[in-house]
Structure formats: structure tokens, C-alpha cells
Structure 1
Amino acid sequence: MDARDEESSATKSTSQPLAVETLADEALDLVGTRFPQAVGALLGGSAAQGRATASSDLDVAVLLPDGDTGRRELLRHHGRLAELFVHTVSDVPAAFERDRFQRRGTILFLYENGLPLLDPYGHVVRARERARQILAAGPPALTPAEWERGRYLLTCFMDDLADAPPTARYEQLALADGVLREAVHLLTAHLNAWTGIGRWLPRRLLNADPVRGRALLAGHRTVAEHADPAPLATAAAQVLSLCGGPLREGYRQTWGPGPGDAAPPPLSRRSPR
């Protein structure tokens, strides 16, 4: 076997999916070792879906008794990186609400699609059912001010991208990222769909709208590969047309108190005697 064959063999060994059962055993051993007081746990992410490889990390949700401390923590267990989403039982509703407010549903999807590892009291079952209900209802609607700001930002990024010369590649790529991000934000909000960041941005986008989503992603790729912003501009303009069109002149954003500025105390009124 020559060097190229050895490299190819090593690449295949690290890219082949690992058995879900193997990763579930690893995750359960982690929970038992680090959290012997746990009253619930589940394995999420690619590991629970049979897509994890030797280099993948573990996404593990852990439920602790009330009175303990919830947190998000990264650690390494037997050589594998693990990201832990730790909550107490009574903290789960508030955690789900924070997740819903962000419109990404990271923890919600972890509970809905995860593989239960430990659930002696039924806490995981109840949390999964609540997560399904929230996800089915969709993320919170944008406020009128949030719609206007989204349209304004997307319009600005599109204008700047159109003005960027093909030779200004760094600027062009940064602006294309801005166009894609804001277009996804508006399109998923328009469809009452969940959004995402990182690898989950294209996944959530294509799940929400395969046609418009693919046009946005293909347009973004065309900017990266050919320095041509036209397809991305066309796809983004279609999103804007769904949300009220471009917003330039007439946009107004009011400022709140600055850091350290205290709001004036309310006027006191004496009760009539």
C-alpha cells in the first residue's frame, strides 16, 4: 500500500458513520461518570441520527434534580469531545422559552430528535412532548420593528454588494454572507419556520422553502466561485418582495437609553384622602 492508499484508507475510516448504539453507550457512560445524580439524559445531533463519524462530537442533554446548576459545557470523555446541555427539571420550561425566542430551536430540536438514554421518572418523555408542541407551533412572529429592520438590513447589504467591484473579493464575500443571513432571517420568519446558524442555516432554509432556499444558496456560491452577485441579488429580491420590498428612505430606528443612563423615575401620586 503506497502513501496515497494509506491516506485514502485513513480518510475513509474517519468519515464512515459510527453505530448509534456505540455512541449511545459512550454518552451514557459520560452521564453516569460526570452526573451520577442525573434524572434524565438523551443523545442528540448527528450521533443520534446515525451520521456521526470518528471525529464527531456528542451532543448530550442532561436533566438534574432541582437545586443543581444548569449550564452549557464542553468536555472530553475518553478522547471524544462532548457538548452538554444541562438543565434542572424545573428549568426546562424557561430553557425552552429562551430557545423559542431565539427562533433557532437548538435545544428544542435536540429533545425532539434525540435518543433517550436515561429516564427513570419520565422527565425526558414529558420534555420531548413539550418540545414537539413548541416546534409544531413555530417560532414567535417578528414585531413590526423587527420586520422593518430586517428589510432595511437586507436592502443595505444588497446595495453594497451591487456596488462592490469583483476585484474587492474580501468585501464581496463578506457582503454576500450578510445578504444570505438576512434573507434567510426574513424568509423563515415569513414562513413561520425555524432558522439556524452554521451548518443548520442551509438545512433549516431548505427544509422551510426548497425552491427559494436553493436559489439563495446557489447565488451565494456563485459569488464565492465566480465573483458574480447577480443570482444572489435576484434570489434576495424575491424574498424582499414577500416581506414588503426594499426599505431605504423612510426607515427610522429610535434609540433607547444608553449604557449607564437611568430612566427618569415615575412621578409619584398621593392617594386621595
Structure 2
Amino acid sequence: MEPHPPPALATALDQARRLVDSRYPAALSAVLGGSTARGRATGTSDLDILVLLPDGDVTRRETLRHEGRLTEVFAHTRAGLEEIFAADRAGRRGTMLFLYAESVSVHDPHGHAAALRAEARAQVDAGPDPLTRKQRDDARYGLTDLLDDLADVRDRHEQLVVADRVLTNASALLADHRHAWWGNGKWLPRRLMTADPVLGGALLQAHLALAEQADPAPLTAIAHEILDLVGGPLREGHSGLWAERGRSGE
């Protein structure tokens, strides 16, 4: 951490230290992550605090209000964090990995936080686990089915809902193709633009065109372009067990 952090960050770090000292006195380490650590906090941003607990404790997430500020605490053991990191790689969103990788130390008497931050940065740089062939084919089938729906729907509400799912599914396939992290919610456009600024930007603009002008043509075209990168549309010949099936057509 820089020796003289900006005032907003310094205030947040002091708040985080007081919370850790009072609520987690046995903590082995703690870091501050999220928008506050990245210098992008707004007046409504919460604090994201990650606390390493001794072995034998319970990995958990707690939401509380500390000194008037909404705070999310991700408290975990070392074994619990390994499971979370593995799930992050498999889920390809990397939520906890990015929180650690972009964090600032709050409490680190034994160097655990520094080691975990370095580990997280290495895993973020290595990228997420790729989709298996089965997962990719399921995603191709799901996006193909959604595009068929998009061509058929006339109700404006249905069109918007289907368009949202086309954006989500196409962005996930594009991120996997680029071996890049994917995102959900506000992180979908951010990660998408990192994965592929050209196709990702075109996908976002096409989704916006449909939302503003009710024109599905640009979204359909860019989604098909992304499908072609990963093997093309998939309909006939696709099969799967019911328990594994993504019910994308309902």
C-alpha cells in the first residue's frame, strides 16, 4: 500500500481496522477490497472486507452496518478460501479472486494477506477454467434457441427479456473464447469490454439498440458472429440428460 493513501481510502482503512479488531480479534489477516480499494467508491459504496480466520472456524459472509456504513465481510478459513477460489475459476467470474487481487492490506502481522493477494493476482492473470466441450455445446444450443425466440417474439416485454438473455449468453461464450473472465450484473459490460473491446462493444451497442429502438437485427447479427467463433448455431443432434440440461427455452 502507498505510504500516504488518499483521504477516503485512509478513512475506510481505519474503519475496517476497527471492525476487525472488535469483531474478529482472532483474525490472521484482513484486507479491504472492492470499489473503495480501487479508488472508485461513491457515496453509497459499501466496504468489502476479507478476513482470514484460524483453521476450525466457519467460512461465512456477513452483512452489517459499521459506524454507519454498510459493510460486507467475507470471513473464511484457508481451506474455505481454497474452495472459493476453485469455484471462482470454475464459474469464470472470479469474484473473490478479484477482491483479493485488487485489495489493500488492513491487518497482516504474519504476511498472510500479502501471500493471498499475490496468489489471487497470479490466478487472475492465469484466467478462468475453460468451458468443457459439453458446457460449450450446451451454451451454443441455448443461445441458438434464444435467437430463434428473438426472431419470433412480438410482445415488447418478451423481446426485452429475451434480449437480456441473449446478451448474457453471448457474452459468456465470447469471454470463454477469449479465455477471459466473465461478469454478471454491472460487471458484465466491464468484463466483456476487457475480454474483447471490439466484439464486446458491438454486442453492448446492439443490445442498447434493441432496448431503445426495438430493433433486434444488430443483436441477432453480432450474436451469430460470436456463435460462429465457437462452432456455430446448434440445434439438431444436441442432447443431454435432464439433470444437466440448461432450460434456456422457457
Same fold (TM over 0.5): yes
User: 10, 13, 29: which one pairs with 1:21?
Assistant: 10
Q: Cα deviation per residue 1:215-247 (whole Å; 9 max; x = unaligned)?
A: 111111111111111111111111001000001
Aligned to 1:186: 173
User: 136, 143, 153: which one pairs with 1:147?
Assistant: 136
Partners in 2 of 1:220 and 1:32 — Cα distance? Answer: 47
Aligned to 2:71: 82
Please say if residues 61 and 86 of structure 1, whose CA atoms lie closer than 8 Å, have aligned partners that are also in contact: yes
User: 179, 183, 197: which one pairs with 2:184?
Assistant: 197
Partners in 2 of 1:169 and 1:77 — Cα distance? Answer: 43
Please say if residues 70 and 88 of structure 1, whose CA atoms lie closer than 8 Å, have aligned partners that are also in contact: yes
* Correspondence 1:61 to 2:50: yes
* Correspondence 1:169 to 2:162: no
Partners in 2 of 1:164 and 1:18 — Cα distance? Answer: 52
Partners in 1 of 2:172 and 2:243 — Cα distance? Answer: 24
Partners in 1 of 2:22 and 2:212 — Cα distance? Answer: 48
Aligned to 1:97: 86
Q: Which runs of 5+ in 1 are unaligned?
A: 1-16, 258-273
Partners in 2 of 1:22 and 1:230 — Cα distance? Answer: 49
Higher relative contact order structure (alpha carbons within 8 Å, sequence separation ≥ 6): 2
Runs (4+) of structure 1 exceeding 4 A deviation are: none
SS class of match (1:19): helix
Instruction: Give me the identity figure in percent.
Output: 53
SS class of match (1:109): helix
2:171 alignment partner AA: V
Partners in 2 of 1:204 and 1:102 — Cα distance? Answer: 14
CA displacement at 1:18 relative to structure 2: 7.3
Q: Cα deviation per residue 1:96-128 (whole Å; 9 max; x = unaligned)?
A: 112211111000001100111111111111111
Partners in 2 of 1:39 and 1:31 — Cα distance? Answer: 10
Partners in 1 of 2:243 and 2:162 — Cα distance? Answer: 28
Aligned to 2:113: 124
**RMSD (CA atoms):** 1.6
* Correspondence 1:220 to 2:207: yes
TM-score scaled by structure 2? 0.91
Q: Which runs of 5+ in 2 are unaligned?
A: 1-5, 245-250
Q: Cα deviation per residue 1:119-169 (whole Å; 9 max; x = unaligned)?
A: 11111111112112211221111111111100001111111111112xx11
Please say if residues 62 and 86 of structure 1, whose CA atoms lie closer than 8 Å, have aligned partners that are also in contact: yes
